[in-house]
Each structure stands twice: as structure tokens, then as C-alpha cells.
């Protein structure tokens, strides 16, 4: 491999000749050989957005020439698009402020910009990092990445599954089935009513997520090192937030208190709480689906789900509820991530939180997994759910809990006796009720209508 020499305040470093990063990135790359978890690409791309916005704001405020602004913007566009992903090699397990990732962005944009321009025009610190500090850029990148991928990825995924459930509700409004509580037979319910519970779970958590978004749209940029805005023009924070908003199409604003935005990660904790609530609901929905689809002969078998792949290497013909299993594993990971996000957010010492990389790594993994998991579950399972109406009718009319309909006519205690006799002797509720002398056959038929109980 060929190398070139790059210099920083600590001296010279050998850097691969075909990479745009420079000395500070190389130091981090060599000093933190920990794990395989690279800084999320969502953060890399968010740095491209904020560095472009900073160049636009600095030019507007008379601090940066138009020539430098234009070259920085061109290089940033390549970062945003992912063209330069291979030039961002740093792992999550680095300094807790994300300083090396900020410098990685500064160095790559400067060197790529100089290559575009044809000579050395840009300096990583003096121009790309102008009016900024790692301490305000990294939390800004966190908020940009979180907001963009929630609004553009996760929320549409949730709404897609909601739409599927709305369709299934309409298709199954005339289907009455046995309800279940404690995994035991309960009184009847319409299948559409059961599905409506799933739908509202998603609608509720979507609203929780939307309620948490305004906090993520507040940006720390302009606070620089400790929140005072040292070396940043007074108008920079407002102008750079305006530029980020224009570049993303999102309603970003400058954070009203930069001391808070540098040291606290409570907005991310609050949002991840909503993500955890979504994960918990998805766990319940996926479990309901696989219980209802269990069988095909020895389970509930009340619904059919798509058969996507063989389920066993030894049992021919076996098909498993794999999409349900995948989604429940996603839910487990998101719930676990919530612990990491909360613990990381609690580590704000004085003017700075120093657990930001691990916080955003887990946060963005949750967003990514939930988005992909919901889309996969919807496209490969939910859209193909079919009610087995005959099985539902059979289970309904064999449920002993239909005896609840007799309570107003023979009383709770007599209804309990009827149910126990029917179960013990394996006879119908009607036969048990008549044999016990509580109702005649005619009276029983007059009051006993399972389909009307839902």
C-alpha cells in the first residue's frame, strides 16, 4: 500500500494515499482497534449536511469566501450521497464526544474539496470546522440523523402496516370468533375488533413518536465547546439551523439553551422511550399472529399466513411463522437498546456528555431495525393474513365461555355449574343447561346467540 504524509498539531502521520482522511483520523483509526461497529453511516451523512449548512451560514455572515463555500458544498454533497463512505473508517468506541468523527468529516471534506479545486484551498479546522466545535457538531449530527430517518423511514413504515390492518378490519367485520384472556377461552369478539386493537397500538405509538420529534429538531450548533458560542458569530446558530432545515426539508431550529443541548441527551431518551413502546406493541402483535396461525392441525389455526420458506431441515413440509419471529427479535433488541441509550444519556459531566457515540449507535440501530422489521413483517406476512372462518366458527361454538350469555337468565352460579358440567361430560352448553333444569331447549335457543355477543 502506498502512503502519504499528513500533519497535525502532534506531528506527522502516514495515511493511505488513496484515502481522503488525514492525521487525526489516522490516529484514531490506529488507537481504537475495538470491535467491528463503525460509526453509523446516518451520522456520516448528517455530518455532510451540517458541514454544508455551516459553510452556507459562514459565507452569509461574511466569514467564508464564496469560492471556499462552493467547493465545500460540492464535497459535502458527495458525503451526503454516500459516495465517500469508504473514507470514514472510525469505530463507535472512540472518544465519547465524537471528536475524531468530527475531524474525520473535516479532513475528508477538506482533502476532497482541494482535489476538486485543484490546489490547496481548504483547511480542516480553519474552514470546514469554522464557527464549530466537535462538542456542538456531534450532537447536531445525532439530531439530524435521528429526525431524518424517523420521519422518512420509520413513520411511513408504521403507516403502511396501519393501512394493512385497516383493510383487514373491513374484510373481517362479519367474522365472530372466540376471544381469549390469560391464554384461555373468553367471550366472543369480532376478528375486526381484534385487528383494531393492533391498529390502534400502532397509531398510539406513532403519535408518541411525533410528540417527541420537536425536541430532536433543536440543534446544538453554535454552542461550540461549552455552550457559550466562543469563536462563533452571534447569528451563526440561527443561520446554520435555517440552512439545515432548507437542506433536509425538516423544521430544524437552533436550541434555545446550548448548555443543555451539549450536556443533555434527554430528547433522545424521550424519543427512544416511544420506540420502546412501539417495540413492545410489535412484540404483542407478532405473538398474536403466530398464536392465531399455530398449527396447522394441532394449534389454534384460526388464520392463515403466507408460507415464505421451508421451516425445517428434517421435517418435510413444515412452515414456520418466520416473519413473526424476526419482528419479535427486533423488539427484544430495541428494548435492550433502551437501557444503553438511557445509561449513556445519564453520563453528562459538567458541560458535555461523553457517551454520545454509543448513545446514537444504539438509537439509530433501533430506528433502522424497527423500520426494516415493520416493512418486512407487513410485506411478507400481514398483507397475506386470511381468516379461517370455518375454524373460527368451530372454536366459537365450542367455547364454554359462551355460558356468559346465560348469566342474566340463570345467574352466575348456575352458569358456572352449566359450564363445568359441559366440560366434565364433554357435552354442549345447551345439553348441560337443560339437564340441570335451568332452561328449556326453547328458552335456551331464544337467549343463546354467540354471534350477537360481540
Write the CATH number for 430.
Answer: 1.10.40.30
Predicted confidence at residue 202, as pLDDT, reads 98
Whether residues 15 and 118 share a domain: the answer is yes
Predicted confidence at residue 348, as pLDDT, reads 85
Enumerate residues 6+ apart whose C-beta is below 8 A from 410.
418, 433, 438, 439
Q: Helices marked H in 249-388 — which ranges? A: 258-263, 266-292, 322-345, 356-380
Predicted confidence at residue 253, as pLDDT, reads 98
Whether residues 119 and 204 share a domain: the answer is no
Whether residues 93 and 47 share a domain: the answer is yes
Query: Rounded distance, CA 42 to CA 316, Å?
Result: 43
Whether residues 125 and 148 share a domain: the answer is no
Catalytic, 312? Answer yes
Whether residues 39 and 114 share a domain: the answer is yes
Task: Indicate left, alpha or beta for 182 from its phi (over 0: left) and psi (-120 to 50: alpha).
Answer: left
Q: How many CB atoms lie within 10 A of CB 419?
A: 20
Whether residues 289 and 337 share a domain: the answer is yes
- Structural domain includes residue 250: no
- Structural domain includes residue 368: yes
Last residue of a domain, one of 334, 363, 386: 386
Q: How many CB atoms lie within 10 A of CB 158?
A: 23
Whether residues 268 and 414 share a domain: the answer is no
Whether residues 34 and 98 share a domain: the answer is yes
Name the pairing type of β-strands 253-254 and 218-219: parallel
Predicted confidence at residue 61, as pLDDT, reads 98
Q: How many CB atoms lie within 10 A of CB 67?
A: 12
Query: Rounded distance, CA 206 to CA 210, Å?
Result: 6
User: What CATH number is attached to the domain comprising 36?
Assistant: 1.10.275.10
Total domain count for the chain? 3
Last residue of a domain, one of 365, 386, 407: 386
Whether residues 202 and 294 share a domain: the answer is yes
- Cα separation of the two ends of the chain: 73
Phi, psi of 14 (to 5 degrees): -85, 130
- Structural domain includes residue 219: no
Q: How many CB atoms lie within 10 A of CB 185?
A: 17
pLDDT digits (tens, 9 = 90+) for 35-62: 999 999 999 999 999 999 999 999 999 9
- Structural domain includes residue 393: no
pLDDT < 50 positions in the chain: none
Whether residues 353 and 407 share a domain: the answer is no
Whether residues 161 and 49 share a domain: the answer is no
Cell numbers linked to 217: 429538531
- Structural domain includes residue 392: no
Q: Helices marked H in 98-220 — which ranges? A: 99-117, 134-149, 155-171, 191-216
Query: Rounded distance, CA 3 to CA 8, Å?
Result: 16
Query: Whats the size of the chain, residue-wise?
Result: 454
Candidate list 81, 131, 143, 312, residue with the active-site label: 312
User: What CATH number is attached to the domain comprising 280?
Assistant: 1.20.200.10
- Structural domain includes residue 12: yes
Whether residues 146 and 80 share a domain: the answer is no
Candidate list 87, 127, 134, 182, residue with the active-site label: 182
Query: Rounded distance, CA 220 to CA 153, Å?
Result: 24
- Structural domain includes residue 291: yes
Predicted confidence at residue 108, as pLDDT, reads 98
- Structural domain includes residue 403: yes
Helix (H/G/I), strand (E/B), else coil: 218: strand
Please give the residue range of the domain that contains residue 150. Answer: 142-174+191-212+258-386
Query: Rounded distance, CA 311 to CA 319, Å?
Result: 4
Amino acid at each position: 500500500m502506498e502512503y502519504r504524509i499528513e500533519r497535525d498539531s502532534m506531528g506527522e502521520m502516514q495515511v493511505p494515499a488513496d484515502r481522503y482522511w488525514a492525521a487525526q483520523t489516522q490516529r484514531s483509526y490506529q488507537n481504537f482497534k475495538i470491535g467491528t461497529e463503525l460509526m453509523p453511516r446516518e451520522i456520516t451523512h448528517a455530518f455532510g449536511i451540517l458541514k454544508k449548512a455551516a459553510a452556507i451560514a459562514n459565507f452569509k455572515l461574511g466569514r467564508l469566501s464564496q469560492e471556499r463555500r462552493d467547493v465545500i458544498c460540492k464535497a459535502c454533497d458527495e458525503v451526503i450521497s454516500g459516495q465517500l463512505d469508504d473514507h470514514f473508517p472510525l469505530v463507535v468506541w472512540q472518544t465519547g464526544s465524537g471528536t475524531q468523527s468530527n475531524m474525520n468529516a473535516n479532513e475528508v471534506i477538506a482533502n476532497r474539496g482541494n482535489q476538486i479545486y485543484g490546489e490547496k484551498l481548504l483547511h480542516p479546522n480553519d474552514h470546514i470546522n469554522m464557527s464549530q466545535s466537535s462538542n456542538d457538531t456531534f450532537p447536531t449530527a445525532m439530531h439530524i440523523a435521528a429526525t431524518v430517518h424517523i420521519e422518512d423511514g420509520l413513520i411511513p413504515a408504521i403507516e403502511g402496516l396501519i393501512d394493512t390492518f385497516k383493510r383487514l378490519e373491513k374484510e373481517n367485520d362479519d367474522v365472530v370468533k372466540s376471544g381469549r384472556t390469560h391464554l384461555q377461552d373468553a367471550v366472543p369478539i369480532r376478528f375486526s375488533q381484534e385487528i383494531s386493537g393492533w391498529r390502534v397500538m400502532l397509531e398510539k405509538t406513532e403519535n408518541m413518536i411525533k410528540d417527541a420529534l420537536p425536541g430532536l429538531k433543536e440543534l446544538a450548533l453554535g454552542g461550540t465547546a461549552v455552550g457559550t458560542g466562543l469563536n462563533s458569530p452571534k447569528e451563526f446558530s440561527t443561520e446554520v439551523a435555517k440552512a439545515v432545515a432548507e437542506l433536509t426539508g425538516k423544521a430544524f431550529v437552533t436550541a434555545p439553551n446550548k448548555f443543555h443541548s451539549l450536556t443533555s441527551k434527554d430528547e433522545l431518551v424521550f424519543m427512544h422511550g416511544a420506540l420502546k413502546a412501539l417495540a413492545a406493541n410489535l412484540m404483542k402483535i407478532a405473538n398474536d399472529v403466530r398464536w392465531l396461525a399455530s398449527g396447522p392441525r394441532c394449534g389454534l389455526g384460526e388464520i392463515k399466513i403466507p408460507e415464505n420458506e421451508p421451516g425445517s431441515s428434517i421435517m418435510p413440509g413444515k412452515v414456520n411463522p418466520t416473519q413473526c419471529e424476526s419482528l419479535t427479535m427486533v423488539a427484544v433488541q430495541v428494548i435492550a437498546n433502551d437501557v444503553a441509550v438511557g445509561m449513556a444519556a445519564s453520563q453528562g459531566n459538567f458541560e458535555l456528555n461523553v457517551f454520545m457515540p454509543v448513545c446514537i449507535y444504539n438509537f439509530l440501530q433501533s430506528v433502522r431495525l424497527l423500520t426494516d422489521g415493520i416493512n418486512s413483517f407487513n410485506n411478507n406476512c400481514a398483507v397475506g393474513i386470511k381468516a379461517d372462518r370455518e375454524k373460527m366458527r368451530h372454536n366459537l361454538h365450542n367455547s364454554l365461555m359462551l355460558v356468559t350469555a346465560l348469566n342474566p337468565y340463570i345467574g352466575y352460579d348456575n352458569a358456572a355449574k352449566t359450564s363445568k358440567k359441559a366440560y366434565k361430560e364433554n357435552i354442549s352448553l345447551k345439553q348441560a343447561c337443560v339437564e340441570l333444569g335451568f332452561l328449556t331447549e326453547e328458552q335456551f335457543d331464544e337467549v343463546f346467540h354467540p354471534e350477537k355477543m360481540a
